């Protein structure tokens, strides 16, 4: 695969930032709003935003089922913040009727650290990405409260909260690397796409 075609789910959230990072890394980065656009990409970023809104819009745009199918077919997907919630098999305190695309065998708690005013930044050790710490921005962030045996925790906070995971071709972070110039998670997604 010379130049991987990476999509960013463009229903709501910080779409432009992810498109910019993927383009900087040499991918052909495209917004995804329709099933046809989804079918044309080799991998996908599900951005931060409001998970319940993205869920509703994905159903309104006819994307919910095609997304579940592509994830089940092992398409590489990286979810940040709301994206992690949407890739989780289970959520606690979801909005009434809220569903997820699933794929990662985790339970995720929404807004686990409080509201917008409780946003924070910290440096995280992520051994899978090398020795340099990841500067992470948490905004109304979720956390993983339970993980199945096939899930690899990639990063934890000092209190033990799991905030980055990988399962097969799926990645999820509770934070926003696209906001801090941190490109290694996106680079890992592109590696998974090339390998697939």
Give tens-digit pLDDT for 13-22: 999 999 999 9
What is the domain-level CATH number for residue 22? Answer: 3.40.50.880
**Rg from Cα positions in the chain:** 15
CA angle 20, 26, 27 (to 5 degrees): 75
- 37 belongs to the catalytic site: no
- 176 belongs to the catalytic site: yes
What pLDDT, on a 0 to 100 scale, did the predictor assign at position 113? 80
pLDDT confidence bin for 1, thresholds 50/70/90:
low
Measure the CA–CA gap between 196 and 192, rounded to whole angstroms. Answer: 6
> What tens digit of pLDDT does each residue of 43-56 get?
999 999 999 999 99
> What tens digit of pLDDT does each residue of 93-143 get?
888 899 999 999 999 998 878 777 778 899 999 999 999 999 999 988 999
Please give the residue range of the domain that contains residue 56.
5-195
pTM of this structure: 0.96
Catalytic site residue from 17, 18, 176, 182: 176
Please state the rounded mean pLDDT for residues 57-67.
97
pLDDT > 90: percent of the chain:
88
Domains in the chain: how many in total? Answer: 1
Q: What does pLDDT average to over the chain?
A: 94
Measure the CA–CA gap between 189 and 45, rounded to whole angstroms. Answer: 9
CA angle 143, 147, 148 (to 5 degrees): 160
Catalytic site residue from 17, 18, 81, 186: 81
Measure the CA–CA gap between 33 and 38, rounded to whole angstroms. Answer: 7
Catalytic site residue from 17, 18, 178, 182: 178
- 81 belongs to the catalytic site: yes
Measure the CA–CA gap between 89 and 45, rounded to whole angstroms. Answer: 17
């Amino acid at each position: 695969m010379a130049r991987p075609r990476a999509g960013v789910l463009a229903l709501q959230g910080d779409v432009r930032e992810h498109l910019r990072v993927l383009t900087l890394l040499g991918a052909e980065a495209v917004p995804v709003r329709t099933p046809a656009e989804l079918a044309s990409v080799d991998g996908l970023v599900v951005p931060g935003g409001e998970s319940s809104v993205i869920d509703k819009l994905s159903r309104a745009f006819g994307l919910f089922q095609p997304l579940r199918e592509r994830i089940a077919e092992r398409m590489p997907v990286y979810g940040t913040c709301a994206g992690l919630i949407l890739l989780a098999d289970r959520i606690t305190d979801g909005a009434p009727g809220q569903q997820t695309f699933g794929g990662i065998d985790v339970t995720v708690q929404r807004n686990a650290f409080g509201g917008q005013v409780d946003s924070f930044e910290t440096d995280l050790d992520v051994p899978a990405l090398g020795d340099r710490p990841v500067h992470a921005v948490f905004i109304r962030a979720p956390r993983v409260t339970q993980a199945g045996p096939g899930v690899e925790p990639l990063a934890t906070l000092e209190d033990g909260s799991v905030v980055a995971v990988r399962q097969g071709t799926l990645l999820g972070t509770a934070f926003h690397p696209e906001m801090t110039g941190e490109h290694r998670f996106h680079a890992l997604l592109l590696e998974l796409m090339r390998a697939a």
